[in-house]
Amino acid sequence: MKAIILTIGNEVLSGQVVDTNAAWIAQQLLEIGLAVREKWSVADDISEIISALANATDKGEIIITTGGLGPTADDLTTEALAEFMKVSRSFHEDTFDRLSKMFASIGRVPGPQHKIQCMLPEGVTILPNNAGTAPGMYFNFEGRHLISMPGVPMEMKAIFDPFVIELLKSVRTGPRRRSHTFNTIGEGETVLEDLLKVITANVPSNINFAFLPDIYKVRVRVDVDSDSNEDILLWEEIIGQVRSILAPCLAGENEVTLEVAVGNLLKQKNWMAGTAESCTGGYLAHMITSIPGSSDYFKGGMVAYSNSIKSEYLQVSQDILNQHGAVSEETVKAMAIGAIKQLKVDVAVSVSGIAGPGGGTPEKPVGLVWIGLANNKGKVMAQKIKLRRDRLNNIRAASIMALILMHRFLLDE
Amino acid sequence: MKAIILTIGNEVLSGQVVDTNAAWIAQQLLEIGLAVREKWSVADDISEIISALANATDKGEIIITTGGLGPTADDLTTEALAEFMKVSRSFHEDTFDRLSKMFASIGRVPGPQHKIQCMLPEGVTILPNNAGTAPGMYFNFEGRHLISMPGVPMEMKAIFDPFVIELLKSVRTGPRRRSHTFNTIGEGETVLEDLLKVITANVPSNINFAFLPDIYKVRVRVDVDSDSNEDILLWEEIIGQVRSILAPCLAGENEVTLEVAVGNLLKQKNWMAGTAESCTGGYLAHMITSIPGSSDYFKGGMVAYSNSIKSEYLQVSQDILNQHGAVSEETVKAMAIGAIKQLKVDVAVSVSGIAGPGGGTPEKPVGLVWIGLANNKGKVMAQKIKLRRDRLNNIRAASIMALILMHRFLLDE
């Protein structure tokens, strides 16, 4: 059973909005064992939407659209759905009531554009939207399951989980997909593929490997498409083999990403961590605090963007700054030691570098980053990396490498 | 002249990777006046790729593919391109030479999988890739312009700019699209659409408005598809009218986003800013420092995740923390005042809230966030917001609102 995801909206086509909905929906489908066959983005244009719906119902059994359900004039999905299914639209009282209550709670009343939003195609099953005005809709059309949701991610998610999930579970046929993900760090995609060749060369065709590279990280996913106990046992055995091969470069498995793994190591040791950032400008602290419950092991951090904060707060001496510069082994070591003292933490990680596009010199080019680590027992180390990305990706890459080095530092203790 | 973007890769379909390439490419095309008609994502599967190429050459004059050019076994784009165009593949010496030199520079040699990567379809024009092994390729196929690039964003960008840009400029026909974007803050999409109705109701069909909502921000884009001086003059006149209507909620225009606008105000005043963050955990500082040159007006920030850092470093008194709690008007005001003193800055913004999913109470639920502002002349203020998103989006929303309030605070001076 294959799904097609259709993203509707000029803003997605123009690139002014990155389509995160499609990726999120695909992940949710995978969790209940449904695979996405194709994803398309089309314009807010009735004939384009109808042609895409025709194509989609041809290729997949489940069609999920997002976008084009808002109250403004460029929102045309409802109209296109009705034309495509050759049904009329009528005013949906319940939807208007819900909308009126929603507006009343903020002291307003719906406008005429919201009445148009309640003109829904015949045969609709409403998928309640508790987060906004646009209705979620389900149609069983000629044996195809057609689901339409708004494009605002928060509203889409509020409809998807639980309503769409439950709906899809009830219509799902065919073997379920089970997936297991290994979150590796520090090795490239081809190296990992070579390491695992001894396994991948001999697996049956319903077990598949995927290598998903990110900066300094590769996720290795092992899928099985089967409901037979024998196949699932073989899949579990293969997961065990993969685990032992990947052990030296493994941060964690499934939801245990690098950030979570670092947090788990800190909790095991009952240690509090801190950060001292220059070029990453707060992104490293953000990565750490993106994990719920991180206050159990993260005390705080300093964004020491100017040298005066490095010297005044982190106690990096003027001698070090003058002699070696802000981007140097000596400075990041002093920053990490300063963070240990000032934040009163057990372990600290520091970053200083040139994120670009400006600020480079022949000796210290854009992309040069030093990362420092220290604990409260006097252990200090530093490592240099050289990046060649744009500013935002250099910031991200430096933050990820800082976490990888922290992971190693904690394991070595 | 319409473009179709084709993203090839199982990892995009499974949602394990968000397709940022397609959005980036669409933006670049828009800049040289080319619009994207559709975007599709297909699996690493030869017949699916061929069927998508057939569809794409049917619907658009320019077809841009990314992904599937790597050295691993699941990379099938080159093979699919050859089959689709019904041409053979041959070993491309120049590409292998480039690759060998690239490997030699890091003390390695290409493997057999890299030789396969150099088997390119007849009729190829190489688009040089200075950032990785996969070749960029151009084909003029039956009057269609077929461009194939690797999926790794850094490599794709290195090929696109300048090679693909120059190529597309030379083949472009039809009227050019010109775009102007207004970056508004604090008002919703429908309010803005209503405000602008007096203009939008009377524009010719080659001038189009788009409303692109984000959290607390809406970009309003005005496009003209024409090369006639008369049309362009009218478009410029309309932009002037839109500017006066949107003035009360405008952060900036085109590349002047909220972050850039805040930086510009700080530079005008010759002020240094600082941050004191609790629940946003560094993301607010990251937003500010994502702008090149931000060290001219951003001195640094404190991620005061634990109360002890709020009291010890930011000098929030124990009385305030005990009486009002960490998430309160009194605390964020004290945090902002503390940041002014400790970071020795002219203006500081502070945030404390409950990002979720845990940590909420009946009085202080998940999503409650206080934002504080202070300057070094004794002016202090605070504002409360209530969010209903997931953790990461609450962090992002609170950071954006903190910047919006800082923008107002600076304008009011």
All domains of chain B in start order, with CATH: 2-171 (3.40.980.10), 177-253 (3.30.70.2860), 258-412 (3.90.950.20)
**Tally of residues, chain A:** 413
Q: What residues of B are in contact with residue A52 (Cβ under 8 Å)? A: 38
CA A145 to CA A165: how far, in whole Å?
A: 13
What was the pLDDT predicted at B78?
96
Q: What residues of B are in contact with residue A395 (Cβ under 8 Å)? A: 286, 289-290
Q: What residues of A are in contact with residue B214 (Cβ under 8 Å)? A: 17
What was the pLDDT predicted at A71?
84
Tokens describing residue A213: 């590279």
Q: How far is B247 from chain A (nearest CA, A)?
A: 22
Region A217-226 average pLDDT: 91
What was the pLDDT predicted at A20?
86
Determine the residue among A41, A55, A327 to mutate to test chain B binding: the one whose Cβ has the most chain B Cβ atoms within 10 Å.
A41
Region A352-361 average pLDDT: 94
What was the pLDDT predicted at A196?
96
Q: What residues of A are in contact with residue B68 (Cβ under 8 Å)? A: none
- Whether residue B294 is predicted with pLDDT greater than 80 in this model: the reply is yes
ipTM of predicted complex: 0.84
> Cβ–Cβ of B23/A12 closer than 8 Å?
yes
Determine the residue among B16, B130, B391 to mutate to test chain A binding: the one whose Cβ has the most chain A Cβ atoms within 10 Å.
B16
Main-chain dihedrals φ then ψ at residue B399, nearest 5 degrees: -70, -40
Region B101-114 average pLDDT: 84
- Whether residue B138 is predicted with pLDDT greater than 80 in this model: the reply is yes
CA B298 to CA A281: how far, in whole Å?
A: 10
Q: How far is B89 from chain A (nearest CA, A)?
A: 23
- Whether residue B189 is predicted with pLDDT greater than 90 in this model: the reply is no
Q: How far is B390 from chain A (nearest CA, A)?
A: 8
> Cβ–Cβ of A219/B16 closer than 8 Å?
yes
- Whether residue A389 is predicted with pLDDT greater than 80 in this model: the reply is no
What was the pLDDT predicted at B130?
82
Q: What residues of A are in contact with residue B38 (Cβ under 8 Å)? A: 13, 40-43, 48, 52
Q: How far is A42 from chain B (nearest CA, A)?
A: 5
- Whether residue B333 is predicted with pLDDT greater than 90 in this model: the reply is yes
CA B369 to CA B277: how far, in whole Å?
A: 11
Q: What residues of A are in contact with residue B26 (Cβ under 8 Å)? A: 13-15
Q: What is the pLDDT of residues A75-128, one digit of tens each?
A: 999 999 999 999 999 999 999 998 898 888 778 888 888 899 999 999 999 998
Q: What residues of A are in contact with residue B389 (Cβ under 8 Å)? A: 154
Region B299-318 average pLDDT: 95
Main-chain dihedrals φ then ψ at residue B37, nearest 5 degrees: -85, -50
Q: What residues of A are in contact with residue B393 (Cβ under 8 Å)? A: 153-154
Question: How many CB contacts within 8 angstroms connect chain A with chain B?
Answer: 270
The gap from C-alpha B211 to its chain's centroid, in whole angstroms, comes to 16
Are B50 and B11 in contact, with CB atoms under 8 Å apart?
A: no
Region A6-10 average pLDDT: 92
Q: How far is A331 from chain B (nearest CA, A)?
A: 17
> Cβ–Cβ of A303/B300 closer than 8 Å?
yes
- Tell which wins on pLDDT, B128 or B234: B234
Q: How far is A193 from chain B (nearest CA, A)?
A: 8
Using CA atoms, how far residue B304 sits from A295, B48, B232, B325, B338, in Å, is: 10, 51, 51, 14, 11
What was the pLDDT predicted at A118?
92
> Cβ–Cβ of B13/A157 closer than 8 Å?
no
What was the pLDDT predicted at B177?
80
> Cβ–Cβ of A282/B301 closer than 8 Å?
yes
The gap from C-alpha B102 to its chain's centroid, in whole angstroms, comes to 31
Q: How far is B122 from chain A (nearest CA, A)?
A: 27
What was the pLDDT predicted at B40?
94
> Cβ–Cβ of B17/A212 closer than 8 Å?
yes
> Cβ–Cβ of B23/A26 closer than 8 Å?
no
> Cβ–Cβ of B358/A293 closer than 8 Å?
yes
Determine the residue among B4, B10, B13, B220 to mutate to test chain A binding: the one whose Cβ has the most chain A Cβ atoms within 10 Å.
B13
What was the pLDDT predicted at B3?
94
> Cβ–Cβ of A190/B290 closer than 8 Å?
no
Q: What residues of A are in contact with residue B295 (Cβ under 8 Å)? A: 305-306
Region A128-147 average pLDDT: 92
pLDDT bucket at B278, cuts 50 / 70 / 90: very high
> Cβ–Cβ of B305/A299 closer than 8 Å?
yes
Q: Which of A23, A40, A391 sits opposite B39 (nearest CB)?
A: A40
What was the pLDDT predicted at A298?
98
Q: How far is A102 from chain B (nearest CA, A)?
A: 15
Q: What residues of B are in contact with residue A309 (Cβ under 8 Å)? A: 299-300, 343
What was the pLDDT predicted at B172?
85
What percentage of chain B exceeds 90 in pLDDT? 73
Q: Which residue of A has its CA nearest to B151?
A: A213
What was the pLDDT predicted at B4?
96
> Cβ–Cβ of A16/B24 closer than 8 Å?
no
> Cβ–Cβ of B111/A305 closer than 8 Å?
no
Average pLDDT, chain A: 93
CA B40 to CA B278: how far, in whole Å?
A: 41
What percentage of chain A exceeds 70 in pLDDT? 100
- ∠ at Cα A80 (A79, A86), nearest 5°? 90
What was the pLDDT predicted at A310?
94
CA A408 to CA A400: how far, in whole Å?
A: 13
pTM of the model: 0.85
> Cβ–Cβ of A301/B303 closer than 8 Å?
yes
What was the pLDDT predicted at A113?
85
Q: Which residue of B has its CA nearest to A192?
A: B72
Q: What is the pLDDT of residues A21-60, one digit of tens each?
A: 998 999 889 878 788 989 999 999 999 999 999 999 999 9
> Cβ–Cβ of B20/A16 closer than 8 Å?
no
Q: What is the pLDDT of residues A251-304, one digit of tens each?
A: 999 999 999 999 999 999 999 999 999 999 999 999 999 999 999 999 999 999
pLDDT bucket at A169, cuts 50 / 70 / 90: confident
Give the alpha-carbon dihedral of B251, B253, B255, B257, to 10 degrees: 10
- Whether residue A15 is predicted with pLDDT greater than 80 in this model: the reply is no
> Cβ–Cβ of A17/B23 closer than 8 Å?
yes
- Whether residue A396 is predicted with pLDDT greater than 90 in this model: the reply is yes
What percentage of chain B exceeds 70 in pLDDT? 100
A89-105 core/surface letters (b: 16 or more CB in 10 A; e: else)? beebeebbebbeebeee
Q: How far is B141 from chain A (nearest CA, A)?
A: 23
Specify the range with the lowest mean pLDDT, choosing from B211-220, B232-241, B252-261, B309-318: B211-220
Q: What is the pLDDT of residues B369-397, one digit of tens each?
A: 999 999 999 999 999 999 877 899 899 99
